[in-house]
Amino acid sequence: MGKNHLHKDVIDGLKFWQALKYFTISDLRARYKRSILGPIWVVLSLGSGSVGIGILWSFLWGAPLHEMLPSITLGFLVWAFISSSITEGSNCFTVNAETLQNVKLPLSFFPMLSFTKALVNFAHSLLIVIAILFIYPPEISLVQLMFPVGVIIAIIDLYLIVYLCGFVSTRFRDLQPLIASVIPLLFFLSPVLFKLKQAPELTWVMLLNPLTYLITIIRDPILGVLPEWYIYAGSIAIGAIAYALLRLLVNKKYNNFIFWV
């Protein structure tokens, strides 16, 4: 495959979009078999938790409910999407070891499959976003147009991170439990329960957390707040670094990967 293992692998993986669709739908059907509400349970679970935290935090901070509730609810939903993508995606190859050994599929297919499942759950949670924005509508402006831009950047970054973590954790099995242990800590160093401007003394610490950038570029535009330029620059840098590391690893270790599974 020459020097472009990663590029060809991703392109080949995209060709299996029908299989990706089939496995994603099958997983949803199996998960909610004989359930009346099905995926709506995801919405209710995330919604009750995020709204409850939003109401509690508005009282603790002494801030107006119409300001805190949308911000915390959206932040919590985005956090759930990002954290589940990385945590579950870090073992995307090991949980599919049998398939990897018996079916010839591009490596990129498995992080795609894991990430697509998280993306579907996030799509369901957008019902909560619609409900919150209906109750507490933000000021409409051109800033909202940056929401799809932020989502696209975050999706690219997260897919690269999931692929990278999954690839490395297949060789070093301690990485997956390490990620599962670190993610909860990053929750308190992310602007989920508050905004960066509410804790200026901790801003530099949170800016060291890569998840801060992904949360901000998705949440803030919905609320009519344009993230600073360095937030977008940091988000792009995260993707560039993840891509460079992933390409290096895949190009060097692609042929050895099957022996790690």
Q: What's the pLDDT at 1? A: 43
For the chain, the domains span 5-25+38-259
Helix (H) or strand (E) holding 89: helix 65-89
- pLDDT < 50: residue spans in the chain: 1-2
Q: What's the pLDDT at 130? A: 83
Q: What's the pLDDT at 67? A: 74
% of the chain exceeding 90 in pLDDT: 26
How far apart are alpha carbons 105 and 4 in whole angstroms?
17
Task: Dump the DSSP string for 90-153.
Answer: TTTTGGGHHHHHHS---TTHHHHHHHHHHHHHHHHHHHHHHHHHHHSPPPP-GGGGHHHHHHHH
Q: What's the pLDDT at 146? A: 93
How far apart are alpha carbons 33 and 48 in whole angstroms?
23
How far apart are alpha carbons 209 and 187 in whole angstroms?
10
CA angle 175–180–181, rounded 5-degree value? 95
Q: What's the pLDDT at 159? A: 94
- Exposure of 133 by Cβ count < 10 A (0-12 exposed, 13-18 middle, 19+ buried)? middle
